[in-house]
Amino acid sequence: MASSHQASGIQAGRLSSQDIVDNFGDLHPAYDAHEASVAADRCYFCYDAPCMTACPTSIDIPQFIREIQTGNPEAAARTILDQNILGGMCARVCPTETLCEEVCVRETAEGKPVEIGRLQRYATDALMAKGGHPFARAASTGKRVAVVGAGPAGLSAAHRLAMLGHEVVVHEVKGKSGGLNEFGIAAYKSTNDFAAREVSWLMQIGGISVKHGDGLGAGLTLDALKADFDAVFLSIGLAGVNALRAPGENKDGSRDAVEFIAELRQATDLSTLAVGRNVVVIGGGMTAVDAAVQSKLLGAENVTIAYRRGQDAMGASRFEQDLATSKGVKLMFNVMPVAVHGEGAASEIELEYTSIVDGKVSGTGETLRLAADQVFKAIGQTLEGQPEGLVLEARKIKVNDTGRTSVAEVWAGGDCASGGEDLTVTAVAEGRDAAMDIHSSLMG
């Protein structure tokens, strides 16, 4: 594999180790106490605060900012974590620019919102640095709940259930917990192994055990879980990746963006990661941007995101798009892949210009070719298989607004479940709300 990589232009060491360390530094450096105080002073502490309504986990944002303003970041953190137990990660990865900060009155009036995300990070980091856990378990209920998947939804549900006094067993197919927080988010958004540290901190609540290498289909069935536990919560994510359905997509140098990001996140030395000279990423969401930007930060010379619709239809926010272009990534709109060319390994990608008619994408017949020794597919993920007896909706597990599935005693949340946006913060809210419904159901 290495030799064909070398031949196709995919290689490690395009930049010095120090350049790579600098490139992958914190995207939004942490506030110090003075900066946090100045930022908190800008809040109007609105009654019926629009930022709070825009937060999928309904954090009392004016309350926690007031607690920072009065010099009590640990109290602010408790306010945050009471609603969003993964508030530390959400402060780093949440698209605040299209949620709480977009509707901030300061943004409306001045075009510069209160930096809610950075204030949230300041508070949660302060509390985690102190050690200990801010919540205590209720008395044991004697009930046992299985959680399948240790991503944001599963961890959120597990924590809330444990806090309410239930015993929780988490089944996670991978060797590490965290889900997309650990494997799927750009390295410059979650530095210093934060995802793993947050999981360890969350587990301090007690009452949660994790079985790694254990997933549905991997020797684990829904029927067996239902027999062994009083309730089951599924947060299995979307493990399947959509195909380009273009000739040559399986050539050496063409791979899934999700797999590339996971490899990058687990690498101990980023300078050893191979990257192409000419990289093309197919897709328009956050995964596409994360793969493209990190390719550039690893030393790729030319990086292009090719998206089949117009700019306004991109799943990635305008902030993320601007981040990509600021790092030298080229954005191309209204183009779709028709073939990957090259002798054994990718060397070019052929794209066709598209038009949108009645909301549907169609090719115009006009094509162009780009040099591409590395092609990343970031065109969405799918549910793998159909868990036993569960009704699907739009290729996800159908749930009601509290996460109940079509099967009794089985709930689901996060990316695998219908409804909601594919965001860490939404998954946390769904896990928390399902846990509350499970608790109500178990306690009659």
The pLDDT value given to residue 241: 86
Give pLDDT tens digits for 351-390. 999 999 999 999 999 999 999 999 999 999 999 877 788 9
The pLDDT value given to residue 218: 66
SS3 assignment, position 266: helix
Question: How many angstroms separate the CA atoms of 46 and 412, rounded?
Answer: 35
Structural domains present in the chain: 33-130 (1.10.1060.10), 144-239+384-442 (3.50.50.60), 243-377 (3.50.50.60)
Structural contact between residues 65 and 43, judged by C-beta atoms closer than 8 angstroms: yes
Give pLDDT tens digits for 227-271. 999 999 999 999 888 999 999 999 999 999 999 999 999 999 999
Burial class (CB in 10 A: 0-12, 13-18, 19+), 198: buried
User: Which residue in this structure is represented by tokens 């028709």?
Assistant: 338
The pLDDT value given to residue 41: 97
Structural contact between residues 188 and 230, judged by C-beta atoms closer than 8 angstroms: no
Question: How many angstroms separate the CA atoms of 104 and 89, rounded?
Answer: 21
CB neighbours of 333 closer than 8 A, spacing ≥ 6? 307, 309, 310, 311
- Write 243-248 long-range contacts (CB < 8 A, 24+): 243/377, 244/282, 244/337, 244/340, 244/377, 244/379, 246/337, 246/338, 246/339, 246/340, 247/338, 247/339, 247/340, 248/339, 248/340, 248/341, 248/342, 248/346
Question: How many angstroms separate the CA atoms of 332 and 372, rounded?
Answer: 14
Regions in the chain scoring below 50 on pLDDT: 1-4, 6-7
The pLDDT value given to residue 3: 41
